Structure 1
Amino acid sequence: MIQEPRLWSDGVWTAKVIKDMDDDGWAVSMTLVGQAEPALVGPWTMGRDKKNPKPLSTPAFQTLVKTAHEVLRRHEQQRDAQLHQSVNLNLPEGRLTVRLDITPDEFEPYAELSAWNALDEELARVKVRPDFRLNSRSATAWVEGGFGKVR
């Protein structure tokens, strides 16, 4: 555990108070141990002398950890939403959910389109391009086309 005025670490997160190159102020970066880039960079408060930064403290560090963790969580949620999409269709035969699951492989990315009934039973699954656009129109066309191969 490190607790210096401009550097704190709890073994999981590291907070560094740094000079803000864009102006005369200070910034704080929060980096998850093992990561090259900070998860959060934000402005930091000036000290009483209006030249140097306010030293880090336990409450400030705890707030920064909570904020940085929340930023990472939101990024994960956004990525998950991009990789796993779904559209609900109300058809004469009943309600269907069409899902698009993207696998972002570095060498051969792909996606799978699947259809599920109201009982959450899989009705069909096909491989599609990872840039397939799932929306009501494309889902309906796939279902009405008999769940065939998508071009």
Structure 2
Amino acid sequence: MSASMTDETDAPIHEPRLWRDNGWTAQVIKNEDDEGWAVAMFKAGESEPALVGPWTMGRDKKNPKPLDTAAFNTLVKTASEVIRRHEQQLHAQLNKALHVARDGNWIKVTLEIVPAEDDPYAWLRAHDAAGGQLAQVKVAANFRFSQSTVEAWVDNGFERPAGRD
């Protein structure tokens, strides 16, 4: 990655192979896999590209097509969508919810995994239908979150599951 990629300035750059604007940088690079070209999209402050994809050859069939406003805007939109989908997937992996019916009332049970590097853990929480918290216990990050374990936790009066931390 070139020094300009990590530069935190907001000064726009509009060059044929390097375009920076609105918190994004596009850099056209030689494709390592074949004779073609690729474009890498970096969000400001990030060291890894959010998106790397093929780039169109220019008219001479040797050099890349120059970046322009329309192409850059399309790349920003695509890279933003990739980031959004990644964040949604991560959120879904770290946050789970199930419902249990007891005494004519619905209880929502959630598991929120905290992926701490040294000691990951999770919060097991129960909420009533109005959103009021009924219980919260800390469990192991690998807690088996299933309908049966959730029902057992509720039926045991929200006691901390044994051997789960």
Pairwise TM-score range, normalised by the shorter structure: over 0.9
Give the alignment partner of residue 77 of structure 1, picking from 77, 83, 88.
88
Q: Assess, with a 3 A threshold, how the Cα gap between structure 1 residues 135 and 23 changes in structure 2: closer, same or farther.
A: same
Q: Percent identity?
A: 56
Which of 50, 60, 64 is equivalent to 1:53? Answer: 64
Gaps of 5+ in 1: none
The two structures, once aligned, show a CA RMSD in angstroms of 1.4
Q: Secondary structure at the match of 1:125?
A: strand
**1:6 match:** 17
Task: Give the deviation of 1:138 after TM superposition.
Answer: 1.6
Which 4+ residue blocks in structure 1 deviate beyond 6 angstroms?
A: none
**TM-score where L is the length of structure 2:** 0.85
Q: 1:102 maps to which residue?
A: 113
Match for 1:7: what amino acid?
Answer: L
TM-score (norm 1): 0.93
Count matched residues: 151
Query: 1:128 & 1:102 partners in 2: Cα distance?
Result: 9
Separation in structure 2 between the aligned mates of residue 22 and residue 141 of structure 1, nearest angstrom: 54
Whether 1:86 and 2:97 are equivalent positions in the alignment is: yes
- Separation (CA, whole Å) in 2 of partners of 1:87 and 1:121: 16
Equivalent-residue separation in structure 2 for 1:69 and 1:26 (angstroms)? 21
2:102 partner letter? L
2:65 matched to 1:37? Answer: no
3-state SS, counterpart of residue 45 of structure 2: coil
Q: How far off its partner does 1:78 sit?
A: 1.4
Which residue of structure 2 lines up, in the alignment, with residue 21 of structure 1? 32
